[in-house]
Amino acid sequence: MKPIVLVIAADGVGGVETRLSEVWLHLAPRMPQLRMLVRRGTLDQLCLRPDLAGLRKFVDRIQTVDVRDTSFARTWAAFAPVLWSLPPGTIVHHILQAPPLLHRLRGHRVLLSWVGTTFPRLSEKPADWAASNLSVRSAGLVDVLDPQIFDQLGRDRALAPKLRLTAGGTIVNGKAFRPGEKRDLVVFLGRVEKYKNALAFVETLPLLNELLTAAGKKTAFRVYGRPADQGQAVRTSLDSLAYQTIDVSWEETSDPASVLAPAKVFVSLQTPSNYPSKALAEAMAAGCVPVITDSGESRRMADAKLAQFIPEHFTRQQLADAIRAVLTLSDAQFARRSAAIRADAVRRFALAPQADYFAHLYAQLGEC
């Protein structure tokens, strides 16, 4: 059997790296030809998650590349020798842009997962547009995550036959992500950056804390995520006098299941879309009632009767009111809503169907 190699070149762990690693781990016992090629630091971070610790059992199938430079050119220069060594006929599974000329010369079969919610525009990013187009057109099959991008690319008759829409959007491990003993806790989980609205959440806390205190609630707020473009602004806010009486902290975590289990509210505020946020799906499986920005295809993620949707360009008052509405539910009302949200998430974002979807794509490429 020819090898099937999942390539994870990203520096750090996001939703897609976690999702595809879960799929890989699910398929590995029944597909001995499955391999992984991954940046060393990224593998270390993946293995810190309790739900992915099983990757260590397959170290004989995982090859790492020790590269610290995050640029596109340096990253692929480091990965290229290993990719070149793969025998002809190898199925290589890439995320986003790939080095298609190398694979064409070596006779590899490429599956490309386009996991973005946008596709580069020629007028805005010509280099990215060229690399993305070359990657998509050279792939044997293209797994597309976002339905809008699927429709956009499908208008091209040359691309349409090779496009596939990711099954379920994202996945959640319902055994790992479960409700714990719930308390008045609000969680933001994600990189501390602009498009996730980390700073907007933090800046809402003084107003929100005031409203909840007036309602007799003693609430804790937690920000979990790696520093990014809003990191300094978030730190400055949290260190200011206005936050001294608020129970709030910011830290990183490699165990999202444990920090979501006791939370009642999860905020998912990213733009242009929350679809298909893995963190959001995991929070719902943990019984958190989500507050979600109504942007893009976000409503695909949750039943509007269960989640709280707020405008994409929300005000502090709108965010505060949405969170307060959840935390002022009676214990019985919250328990019913939490249970319904968990049941919906575990049903719609099950791991097995998505693993079967990728196994089918690998089989299709193997038959080419």
CB 233 within 8 A of CB 203: no
CATH of the domain at 289: 3.40.50.2000
- Cα 268 to Cα 189: distance, rounded to the nearest angstrom: 8
Is 179 a member of any domain? no
Total tally of structural domains belonging to the chain? 2
- Both tokens assigned to 353: 């169907």
Is 141 a member of any domain? yes
Residue 142: DSSP 8-state: E
Same domain, 321 and 354: no
How would you class 236 by CB atoms within 10 Å of its CB: exposed for 0-12, middle for 13-18, buried for 19 or more? Answer: exposed
Please state, in angstroms and as integers, the Cα–Cα distance from residue 288 to each residue in 12, 115, 177, 178, 207, following that order.
26, 25, 11, 10, 22
Q: Residue 193 is which amino acid?
A: E
Same domain, 91 and 192: no
Is 178 a member of any domain? no
Same domain, 161 and 226: no
Same domain, 91 and 29: yes
Alpha helices in 139-176 (DSSP H): 147-154
Please state, in angstroms and as integers, the Cα–Cα distance from residue 331 to each residue in 211, 283, 326, 327, following that order.
19, 19, 10, 9
Same domain, 302 and 357: no
Is 325 a member of any domain? yes
Same domain, 344 and 200: yes
CB 355 within 8 A of CB 31: no
Q: In what order do the strands lie in the sheet with 141-144?
A: 62-65, 34-39, 4-8, 91-95, 109-114, 141-144, 163-165
Domain that holds residue 304: 185-348
Same domain, 9 and 38: yes
Is 94 a member of any domain? yes
Same domain, 200 and 338: yes
pLDDT tens over the chain, length 368 residues: 889 999 999 998 888 999 999 999 999 999 999 999 999 999 999 999 998 999 999 999 999 999 888 888 889 899 999 999 999 999 999 999 888 889 999 999 999 999 988 888 888 889 889 989 999 999 999 999 999 899 999 999 999 999 999 988 999 999 999 999 999 999 999 999 999 999 999 999 999 999 999 999 999 999 999 999 999 999 999 999 999 999 999 999 999 999 999 999 999 999 988 999 999 999 999 999 999 999 988 999 999 999 999 999 999 999 999 999 999 999 999 999 999 999 999 999 999 999 999 999 999 998 86
Phi/psi at 19 (nearest 5 deg)?
-60, -50
Same domain, 11 and 159: yes
Same domain, 201 and 167: no
Is 355 a member of any domain? yes
Same domain, 244 and 104: no
Is 229 a member of any domain? yes
Is 176 a member of any domain? no
Which residues lie across from 4 on neighbouring strands?
Answer: 34, 91
Same domain, 162 and 303: no
- Which pairs with CB-CB distance under 8 Å and at least 24 residues apart come from 101-104? 101/138, 103/138, 104/138
Q: Tokens 């998509």 — which residue?
A: 136
